[in-house]
Amino acid sequence: MTSGTQPRSPFPFDAIARQGKEPLRQLLEKLPVPRRDAVLEEVGWVIRLLDAASGDQYFRVPVEALGWWRKVKPQEEREQYLWGAILLALLIPELPERFLAHPLPAPCLEGVLEQLQRIVSGLTGDSPRPMSLEHDLFLKDLGICRLEMVPGGAALIEKYAAIPRSLAFRHGLRQMLQVTKMALQHRGRIAPYLALHLHTPMLRSFNESGWERCYRLAAELLSLHPEYRGLIGSSWFYDPAVEKITPTLSYLRRFPLQGGAFFLRVGSSPADIDLATRRDLSGNRVKLYQEGKYLPTSYLLVWPRAQLLSWAQR
């Protein structure tokens, strides 16, 4: 670990910022000339709304911004893509200034630049990717362009997350005591935490080395930001049952547990069932679920700050 090392200038993003100007020009050329300035003004207003709400989770889009989108979004998918692409394209030239306001540790830059390059390269093509303030994949790309979500190997690392207080009242006394202890240690607050989110364009790094890199990059961010209390992430694959059913995924719990993390039971949902059975290459999870012997259940990873930093220094 590099103790929160970070570049002292915006130079890491200068090249991608220059590169992003051409897609913006091409996108605007698809609009009638009299409409271009108005579109830039409207989209710029949405960006200011998003920035004013900085400190909230990526999927919590300001009501005003959502209202604007639902009012102006075209019915045709091609035109909808254009509006969303302009929103992303306007953010790219701002990256050097955003980096000054939201500095990142040097080890995080490679992944950020790789994902930004992917986003810029897809702005003017005929990609089927979603471009909507109501679509999760787009909101994650939006978070990357605003430097609010950091690509970290196997997953995105988001700022500003919190442990749901409701978990204290679920699944028994032991879990209640765990959540209560955390709250008491931090004067009743169980936020902010860094949070993990899977992102489809990054799934090729969903492997043991990709997750180890992710956890180490999270430690870099913690080093730079003393206000964060640790790292959290919720998924069906943190369920202890998965270690026995799909041993090849056992590392997902092993790394954190070896480093002092613990897990809180969240519960089962249709989304957990879908995700756990959709890409089951071995067929074991699907078979056991259909036989009523396995119910995909989500658990919340909680890796306290001190323990994660200690693990990363080994």
Q: Across the chain, what does the average pLDDT equal? A: 88
d(CA 120, CA 257): 38
Please say if the pLDDT value at position 180 is more than 80: no
pLDDT of 5 reads: 47
Q: Across residues 283-299, what is the average pLDDT?
A: 96
Q: Which structure tokens are listed for 307?
A: 């323990």
d(CA 19, CA 98): 16
In sequence order, what are the beta bridge partners of 265?
Answer: 299
pLDDT of 196 reads: 98
pLDDT of 40 reads: 93
At residue 299, φ and ψ (nearest 5 deg) are -125, 150
pLDDT of 82 reads: 86
∠ at Cα 158 (253, 214), nearest 5°? Answer: 40
pLDDT of 50 reads: 94
Report CA-CA distances (Å) from 119 to 99, 113, 116, 286.
17, 10, 5, 34
Are 238 and 211 in contact by the 8 Å Cβ rule? The answer is no
pLDDT of 304 reads: 93
Helix H, strand E, coil C: the string for the chain is CCCCCCCCCCHHHHHHHHHCHHHHHHHHHCCCHHHHHHHHHHHHHHHHHHHHCECECCCCCCHHHHHHHHHHCCCCHHHHHHHHHHHHHHHHHHHHHHHHHCCCCHHHHHHHHHHHHHHHHCCCCCCCCCCCCCCHHHHHHHHHHCCCEEEECCEEEEEEECCCHHHHHCCCHHHHHHHHHHHHHCCCCCCCEEEEECCHHHHHHCCHHHHHHHHHHHHHHHHHCCCCCEEEEEEHHHCHHHHHHCHHHCHHHHHHHHCCCEEEEEECCHHHHHHHHHCCCCCHHHHHHHCCCCCCCEEEEEEEHHHHHHHHCC
Please say if the pLDDT value at position 297 is more than 60: yes
Domains of the chain by start residue, with CATH: 11-126 (no CATH), 156-312 (3.40.630)
- In tens, the pLDDT along 219-264 reads 999 999 999 999 999 999 999 999 999 999 999 999 999 999 999 9
DSSP strand pairing (230-235 vs 193-197): parallel
Q: What is the amino acid identity at position 131? A: M
Q: What is the amino acid identity at position 298? A: S
Q: Starting at the edge strand that comes first in sequence, how are the strands of the sheet with 262-267 ordered? A: 149-152, 155-161, 193-197, 230-235, 298-304, 262-267
Are 43 and 27 in contact by the 8 Å Cβ rule? The answer is no
